[in-house]
Chains A and B, each alone.
Chain A
Amino acid sequence: MWNRRKEEEPTARPTGAAASTVGGNEGMPMQTTPSRFDHDAPPAPRTATIGKGVSITGQIWSKEDLIIDGEVDGTIEAADHKVTIGPNGKVKATIKSKDIVVIGAVQGNVEAAEKIDIKKDARLFGDIKTARISIEDGAIFKGSIDIIRNETPKPAAKPQPTAAAPATQQTLAASAGGSDPKR
């Protein structure tokens, strides 16, 4: 659930292909063997951490993954990245990100382009807008849930003799996580 190893990582680390071959990076989700395509590889993911003794008021705009275990009052934006509100995190802010994981407490609207994961014991008071959502039993959530439907342009209609239509991409994208596998 809570990746403590990530929390212990130093926030500044070498980026790019060179970093992928440096030893002592256990736990980093990156390639460890050199590749001749390394120059094409995306930069290694970086994570910034706001520790539990830190309190911030204002706007946070992040170009890397963000772990918040302290207090934040304002707005948090991390497009294309993941924001994690740790178990000690207390956030009064709107959050916009690609992925959002809530383990601590959030008061404010949250918007995730891909997925919101609300863990057990999390408290989230605010409106959610996301493509997918997972919520564990024991979490407390008050607010509205708006599922973003990925409207894919339909190809030109061809006459099809078959009657039964399979589940569309749109339906799958709107589904919530952590549900009964029968569905």
Chain B
Amino acid sequence: MANPFKALLRAVQGSDDSATSLRPERPQVPPSIEQPQARPPVVAPPQLRPSPALRQFVRSLDTTRDLRLLDLGGANAANIQFMTQLGTRLYSEDFFATLEDCFGDGDYYENQRDPARVDSFLIQTFSEQRGPFDGALVWDCLQFLRPSLLDKTIDHLHRVLEPGAHIIAYFSADERAQTIPQYQFKINDQQSLFLEQRGEMPPGQAFSNRNIERLFEDFAATKFFLSRDQIREVLVRR
């Protein structure tokens, strides 16, 4: 499969040649069975949505002591402001940039089978962080990993989090979608978020409630929050 992720990253970074990169690399394959490709970003205004999971996540933080939070979604001013005002120390990790660095050349999902690349990805994403953390803002990052890498990533999250720490994660509720939106999440206040769509790409797998529960089976609790849009909010307690 062509690398949809590179196209997405280029689109996010505003590269002029993003349209070129979206062309199928194997033109001999009939379009009807062509693998889904990343689409150019939808230029839409940021969407404000309530987030009960975020509200519970913030409530779970014991701000009377120094907290360390891990943010996998890449740094943005809104999240830095919100979290640092709570008195937390924020550790920012740009998950998508690391994915691009490790798997971006060639077939994005096929590259996730390569043990050397997987090790490099996990080391870059988790080993240099100074955990343990009191919470993790995972956003929608987990959707773009194939199952084996996803399991390893969840294991690492489990390892770097303190017992009782929470993870906030988002999954597309459309289990049949060939491509799903990828967002940047910007905290508006403790119960709402701005979602800025960066583009679309195929998910690593379909995420049903059962699949998600199984993913986090080593954690103490998993809580789902229903919403009217196609986004499933999940709060997981270590």
Are A174 and B89 in contact (CB-based, < 8 A)? no
**Given contacts A142-B93, A144-B89, A180-B188, is CB(A134)–CB(B84) below 8 Å?**
no
A60 in the interface (beta carbon within 8 A): no
Task: Name the CB-closest residue of A to B71.
Answer: A145
Task: Name the CB-closest residue of B to A175.
Answer: B81
Partner among B13, B89, B93, B188 whose Cβ is within 8 Å of the Cβ of A121 = B13
Chain B residues with a Cβ closer than 8 Å to the other chain, count: 28
Partner among B14, B98, B189 whose Cβ is within 8 Å of the Cβ of A138 = B14
- Determine the distance from Cα of A118 to Cα of B184 in the docked complex, in whole angstroms: 17
B219 in the interface (beta carbon within 8 A): no
Q: List 29 A-B contacts (CB under 8 A).
A: A118-B75, A121-B13, A135-B80, A137-B184, A138-B12, A138-B14, A140-B74, A141-B92, A141-B94, A142-B92, A142-B93, A142-B98, A142-B128, A143-B91, A145-B75, A145-B80, A145-B89, A145-B91, A145-B92, A146-B89, A171-B85, A175-B81, A175-B85, A176-B77, A176-B81, A177-B77, A180-B78, A180-B186, A183-B81
Q: A118-B75, A140-B74, A145-B89 are in contact. List 12 more A-B contacts (CB 8 A).
A: A134-B77, A137-B184, A138-B13, A139-B75, A140-B97, A142-B94, A143-B92, A145-B90, A145-B91, A176-B84, A182-B188, A183-B81
Q: Which residues of A contact B (CB under 8 A)?
A: 118, 121, 133-135, 137-147, 171, 174-180, 182-183
